[in-house]
Amino acid sequence: MTSAEVAELLAVSSATLCRWRQKGRGPRWVALTDSSPRYRRADVDAWVGNRTRR
Cα-trace Rg, the chain: 10
Q: What is the dihedral sign for C-alpha 16, 35, 26, 2?
A: positive
User: What is the model's pTM?
Assistant: 0.87
Exposure b/e, 25-45, CB count within 10 A at least 16 = b: ebbebeeeeeeebebeeebbe
pLDDT tens by residue, 9-47:
999 999 999 999 999 999 999 998 878 999 999 999 999
Phi, psi of 33 (to 5 degrees): -145, 175
Domain spans in the chain, listed from the N-terminal domain onward: 3-52
Q: Which amino acid is at 46?
A: A
